[in-house]
Structure 1
C-alpha cells in the first residue's frame, strides 16, 4: 500500500514540476532575478539616455517571459507597461500569425496564386502566397529608409504616392526575378498579404479579423492596427502592442501555435514560419528569412547570425530596434522595444547577456 502511495506521490510531484503556465488577464510572476549578469544586461540595454541627439542604444522596454511566467520587466523614456508601442516591421510577423488562423480554417493554401485573392496582381499571376510570405515575390522593390529616401519604394508607399492604397502601389511594380526564386526584403509583399486576407476571410470579417482570430484568444485587448485609405491593415509597419501583449504572441509561437488547450495556429504553419526560405542567400550578421519571421540558422555556408544564442532562436524584428525573440530550447520569450537611430544596438549582444542573466531561473 505504502509503495503504491509513494508511486502516486512521485507522479503528482512530476506533474507539478512540469506545470505549464499561461497568462490570464495578467502574467503570473516568476522567480525574481538578480546578480551581476542582470546588471551587465541592464548596463547594455539601458545606458544613460540622450533625448537631444537620439544617439546610442535607447531601449524603451525590456520584458522576459520564461516558462510562461514574467521574470523581468523594465521601461524607459515615455513607454510604460500600458503603452501600445509602435512595432514597425514586427507587424509583418503579426500578420503572418493572423493568416495562420485563416490557414487553419482551410481558407487558403500556401501554393494558391495571390491573384486569386487580390486581383490587382493580374500582371503577376505566378506569385503565390508562399512567395509573399518569403519576401520572394520577384517584384522590383527598394527597401531603403532614411538614408536613401528618393529611391525608396517603402518611403513612397508609406508616406507619398503609394500611401492611400499600399497593395495596389506594390502590385504596380515590375518584376526583377521569377516569383519564388530570390529573396528581396519587401514591406510591399507584406501589404499584399494584408490585401489578400480581405478576400480570404471576406470583407465583412476583415475589419475585426486580427482581433477575433488572434488578439482576443490570446487575451490582448489594447492592440491598435492602422489601415490605409482602402481599409487594409498596414501589415508592413503600423501595429501597436504593449510589451506584455506582444509577449503573448511570442509564447504562442514558442509553443508551436498552441494556447492553453486550443491549437490556435496549425503546427505545420508555425513550422513553415520557422523554416528557412530555400532561395535565401546568407549575408554576414543578418538573420535568415523564414515565413515573415527571422531565424538564427546557419545556411548557405554562413554561420549563425547570432552565434551566442541557440540555433532554434527566431524573431520578429522592426525598425529602430523593435524585437520579439523566441528561444524554445530555453523556454524564453524576450520583448525589446527601442528608439535606436544610429545602428549601435546588436541583437547578438542583447541575447548573449539575456541568456547569461536568465538561464536556469525557473525552479521546479
Structure 2
C-alpha cells in the first residue's frame, strides 16, 4: 500500500476510534487523590476543578496579538488553542462550534503520557529505566531482543524492526492485539545503533508497564496521573484485545492537555503532590536521550543542537519538526524557541508546548492544516512567545 494511503487510513481509523470512544470516566476528588485548589499554600498555584484566569495584559501578553493568533490558527483547522502562564489560564479559544470541554484524539501526544507512567512506576520502585525489557516480556528472553532496555524503548533506539508498512498499516491499523504483534517483531539492530520513530516498539511498553504494575496502563494512569490532576476530560483507549495503546490512543480536551503540560513544567509537581519525580522529568525532557537524535528525550521532543531526526508523519509528508529527513548538525528543532522548551507532539499538529523559562504552556488541537509548514513546533511556539508585550 502506498504511504499516502497508509497514512490516510491510519488517520481515519484513529479518528473514528476517538469519536466512538466513551466519554471520559468521571474523575472525582477524594482526600488522598484530589489535586489541590489554586489557593493551596504549599506549592505554586495549579487549577482545581476549574482554572483560575488572568487577563492577557496582566500576564504580559498583548490581547490584540492573541486575537491575531486566533484568526491565524482558526484558518488552519484548529479546534482549540490555550495559553497558560504561571498556572493560570491566560487565553482559551475554541473554533467552529467546538465545545470548551470537547475531547479530541491526541495521537502521539500519548507517547509522552506513556513516558510519565514509566517514570511514576520507576519512582515507585516497580521498574528501573535500565532494566532489560525482557524481564517484563518473557518472549524476549534468550533472544537478540534480550539486550533491549526500557530506556532504549523510551529513546526510540531499541533496534526493533521498523518499516512504514509494518508500523503504520500492519500494527496500527490491522493488528487486533497490538502488543502481541509488536512483541513478536524481529530485532533488526543492536540497541543504541539506530533511531526510528517506532510505534510498535513503544507499544511493547504496554507489556512492560502491565507486568511491572500489575495493572493496565490506562487504569494505572487514571489512578496516578489523571485523577490527581483532575483530568476529567481525558480517555485512554485500548486495542480490540483490551491492551492500552501506549503509542497513541489518548483522547483529551485542550485544557486537560494544558494540565499535563503544567505538571511537567513544574518538574512533576502538582501543588503539594509530586506526581512524577523531578529527576525523571529532567531525564525525559532536559536533554537528548542519544547522540542519534538531538531533538528527542524520553518520548518527549526537546530543543538541543545536533542531528535532528523527525517522526515519519502519518500524512507521508515532510513536516518541519516532525518530518522524516535528517537535518543539518548544530540545528535545533525550534531555533526561535528557548533551549529549555519541550513538546508532546501528535499527528495532525496536536501540540503541547512547554517553555519553563517563560512559565508558559500552550496547547493546540485540531486537524492537519492545509499548509504542511504551518504549526511546526518552531512556528507555533515562537508565535505564542511573540504575542507577549
Question: Scaled by the length of structure 2, what TM-score is found?
Answer: 0.77
- Contact between 1:44 and 1:350, CA under 8 Å: does it hold in 2? no
- Superposition pairs for residues 109-120 of structure 1, below 5 Å? 109-120=128-139
Q: 2:72 aligns with which of 31, 44, 63?
A: 44
Which secondary structure does the structure 2 equivalent of 1:231 belong to?
Answer: coil
Partner of 2:172: 158
Q: 2:274 aligns with which of 263, 274, 280?
A: 263
Q: 2:47 aligns with which of 23, 29, 33?
A: 23
Q: 1:294 aligns with which of 279, 287, 301?
A: 301
Which secondary structure does the structure 2 equivalent of 1:132 belong to?
Answer: helix
CA 281–220 in structure 1, closer or farther in 2 if over 3 Å, else same: closer
- Per-residue deviation at 1:139? 1.2
Aligned length: 317
Match status 1:173 vs 2:185: yes
Structure 2 unmatched ranges of 5 or more = 1-42, 308-328
> Partners of 1:194 and 1:222 in 2: how far apart?
22
- Contact between 2:229 and 2:270, CA under 8 Å: does it hold in 1? yes
Which secondary structure does the structure 1 equivalent of 2:228 belong to?
Answer: helix
Partner of 1:52: none
1:318-341 CA-partner distances (Å, limit 9, x unpaired):
001101000000000011102015
> Partners of 1:278 and 1:89 in 2: how far apart?
20
Structure 1 unmatched ranges of 5 or more = 1-18, 48-56, 145-150, 283-287
> Partners of 1:22 and 1:201 in 2: how far apart?
28
- Per-residue deviation at 1:116? 0.9
Q: Larger Cα Rg: Structure 1 or Structure 2? A: 1
Partner of 1:51: none
> Partners of 2:332 and 2:203 in 1: how far apart?
29
- Contact between 1:141 and 1:153, CA under 8 Å: does it hold in 2? yes
Partner of 1:71: 90
Superposition RMSD in Å: 1.8
- Contact between 2:117 and 2:217, CA under 8 Å: does it hold in 1? no
1:236-285 CA-partner distances (Å, limit 9, x unpaired):
11111111111111011001111111221111111110120223245xxx
CA 237–206 in structure 1, closer or farther in 2 if over 3 Å, else same: closer
- Contact between 1:225 and 1:239, CA under 8 Å: does it hold in 2? yes
Partner of 1:192: 204
